[in-house]
A and B are shown apart, each in its own frame.
Chain A
Amino acid sequence: MRAVASSVLEEVSVTKIRIKFRKYGVMKFIGHLDMMRYFQKAMRRAEIDIRYSEGFSPHQIMSFAAPLGVGITSDGEYLDIEAETSRSSQASVDALNQVMVEGVEVVSYQKLPEHAKTAMSIVAAADYKLFYKDGYDAPASCKAFEDGLRQFFVEPRTVMITKQTKKSEKTIDLKQLVYDWHIQQDGGKPVFYMKLSAGSVDNVKPELVLGALYQSMGLTYDANAIQVHRCEVYTKTEQRFLALSETGEPIM
């Protein structure tokens, strides 16, 4: 890990920053565009020296890694900004957390290499955890789901399902897009863990994947019963998936 020379970067060169945050509680009802607006205002409240575009209505240089659907919570959300100058990572995390509402917590604030691509353009995968909300029971036992998963996903060589988009239908192979899928038990109910292809090319939604399993088992998928939680978002190197937070380094 390279050391960063000074605590305050006074140089004119722009610093690329990657911010990781958690989204939980009632904030899951705030949509992606409103989260962007929320962070734009939070940057100003925290006095982050963010860079603005030129022109009559300058906007902050800010982009989000992967939109999170309404209703989904997350431990691994990312946004990239460009800053003119920056305090240390710790001071910046503290300043941001001072101006966060309950339900959003900034976890890290890291400097990216000068020529780093935006998170948005390098997202390759995401981890999800899907579990039954309080007051809802699983429609089958853990054992039944484990058997179902083996028959539907683990054993076949291809798992073709239909993905409905706004304009058309598309057939996709889950074997190519689901990198990991396993079930654990919590309080007698199954909890589904999956690592899915994400990003602009082959994005796959966890509800679609679980819904396909339900269908194969002859069950009716009830979206109200399931809480979807995103655990982490990854980029891909030649060797492995790398959490987006592993691509930066702290400002000391």
Chain B
Amino acid sequence: MAKLALSDEILMKITNPARYIGNEWNSVVKDKKQIKIRFVMCFPDVYEIGMSHLGIQILYDMFNRRSDVWCERVYSPWPDLHVILKEQKIPLFSLESQEPVKNADFLGITLQYEMCYTNVLQILDLSQIPLLAKDRTSEHPIVIGGGPCTYNPEPIADFFDLFYIGEGEVVYDDLLNLYQSMRETGKSREAFLLEAAKLPGIYVPSLYDVTYREDGTIGTFLPVRDDISPTVQKQLVMDMAKAPYPEKPVVPFIKATQDRVVLEIQRGCIRGCRFCQAGMVYRPTREKEVGRLKELAVQMLKSTGHEEISLSSLSSSDYSQLEELVTFLVDKFDGKGVNISLPSLRIDAFSLDVMRKVQDVKKSSITFAPEAGSQRMRNVINKGLTEETILKGAALAFAGGWNKVKLYFMLGLPTETREDMQAIPALANEIAMLYYDTVPKDRRNGKCQITISTSFFVPKPFTPLQWARMYPPKEYIARAKVVNDAVKEQLNRKSIKYNWHEADVTVLEGILARGDRRVGQAILKVYEMGAIFDAWSEFFDYGKWLAAFAACGIDPDFYTMRERSLDEILPWDFIDTGVSKEFLKREWEHAMLETVTPNCRERCAGCGVKRFGGGVCYENQN
């Protein structure tokens, strides 16, 4: 058992000491003397959130399969421990060895949402690693960023030595081998970064130079050397059968957000919703083989002892072997103390039949994500779900005994009108009406309960809506009020509940999502002013951020209130996701024309990813 980095005195004083002791079942402890490369993997949020993330579990398993690598984990210390580590100058430590993170060769940080950026600085700061990459020396780990936010890494470019763009399974081996061979021959940190930048998918920000025009937009974005490519190509697993998957995931002692086996059934999505970054950057859709998934389900339940398994993908209903897989899971595990938690499936006869087997109909709800209230608006965002489909699904569910419906929408979408907003409660009312019209009184389980939730739309890089403008916080709240007022006018208002998201945090997310390198100064500033855990409403302080932008001379509106022109150089244009900019422009124009683009299985839209040579692009072509 490793000697703990924290004293009993500290551990007894802080909340949830179990976050910091490691020792979890299936965590990997290796003999340091046998190890050449120490890799610390970080999710910059609290342990319970970070431990729920599938990507880290995959990479942790993959790295630790190598006998020369020891991969460990670290998460953001909660503010109570943060203060103690700062005051007592205790360096942040990894969970397995309890040794300082700063002694590792690599610190890999996954960037899952923009609101974690101050936590990235917290991790570096508490690790006693210089916050700016340019201040680091051979004494410090190589700091790597990965995950969805690297599709625009520019706002945090100054803090990272390199970014890995794409799916981790592909070039990490090459990167680690390169590191090892260059270290053995005594090469410098700079020399390593230069060679690393030549690997596909690796972006070394210090090797690129950005110039700006007078209007603030980017003039040039170019490598500083001829031997560095001006574009960085997204890495993608094309052989899902050979891709590693953790058969023995780490089992936390404390209840993590995902306290269950997570079985990834496919990557990518065929749907092409125009607001969805994941749906664009993980193209093409690649399914996993159902036989392998069955094996994994059994192995992972056995190795963890979890009492629940859930399926993971962007759109599980589109997995072609879903029925076979779910039937297998229900037959194999139902009644054996294992719950099967289904992702939000398309509501139809099959999914309701399965839900009836694995859930209590009286307690559970059915979920629709129309994302927009009117058909016009849904055509703009290319969300294929129609009112007819929703009502048909709801009717089936009501007939089956369900009476709770959850509906998810976005407000602030491009071209949105008052009518589009008011269509949201109108749709909820239609569904409620259907319940009272179709379910006879004696068979009703009380009133039906329709819950509407709206978030505010944030345009993301590499989506067809990446050029769209956003709105000031008070405009978002005004739109939520339009919906709320319209709810009150509905006949079935007593059956409808409405929740809306916060507006300030939406605007900030928008700045960070589409910001350029200059935004980094404000992130540094706001961290110095004490901002951390911005993803947590109890800690988020919008005023602090506004002060930081002002102090750095940055106008946040430049990043949010402006519709970008189609020929502007966007900060993320240097990344090649395989989805062509021409396709995104075409889709933006289709959005403005309110025309729908069929999904990948209906008709290829020519987005460009066919050149990866696999996935849905080549289905039924042998």
Contact = CB atoms under 8 A, between A and B. Distances in A.
Interface in B439-462: none
Given A34-B254, A70-B12, A71-B12, A101 B23 contact: yes
Nearest to A224: B9
B12 A45 contact: no
B17 A70 contact: yes
Interface in B359-373: 359-360, 363
Contacts of B128: none
B303 A26 contact: no
A43 B302 CA distance: 10
Contacts of A45: 25, 302-305
A31 B117 CA distance: 32
B21 A26 contact: yes
A58 B303 CA distance: 20
A102 interface: yes
Interface in A34-50: 34, 37-38, 40-45, 47, 50
B581 interface: no
Contacts of B9: 224
B255 interface: yes
B339 to A, nearest CB: 6
A59 B1 CA distance: 32
B228 interface: no
Q: How large is the interface on B (under 10, 10 to 19, 20 to 34, 35 or more residues)?
A: 20 to 34
B4 to A, nearest CB: 6
B307 interface: yes
A224 B335 CA distance: 47
Contact of B359 (A56, A59, A223): A56
A239 interface: no
A53 to B, nearest CB: 9
B564 interface: no
A37 B253 contact: yes
A29 B1 CA distance: 14
Contact of A41 (B4, B21, B306, B360): B306
A25 interface: yes
A43 B307 CA distance: 11
Interface in B249-288: 251, 253-255
B16 to A, nearest CB: 9
Contacts of B339: 57
Given A26-B1, A26-B4, A133-B8, A42 B18 contact: no
Interface string A198-229: 00000000000000000000000001100000
B301 interface: yes
A113 interface: no
A30 B253 contact: yes
B305 A52 contact: no
B418 to A, nearest CB: 43
Given A41-B251, A56-B360, A102 B1 contact: yes
Contact of A52 (B4, B254, B337, B359): B337
Contacts of A58: 335, 337
Contacts of A42: 25, 305
8 contacts: A26-B4, A30-B18, A34-B253, A37-B255, A52-B337, A99-B25, A102-B1, A224-B12
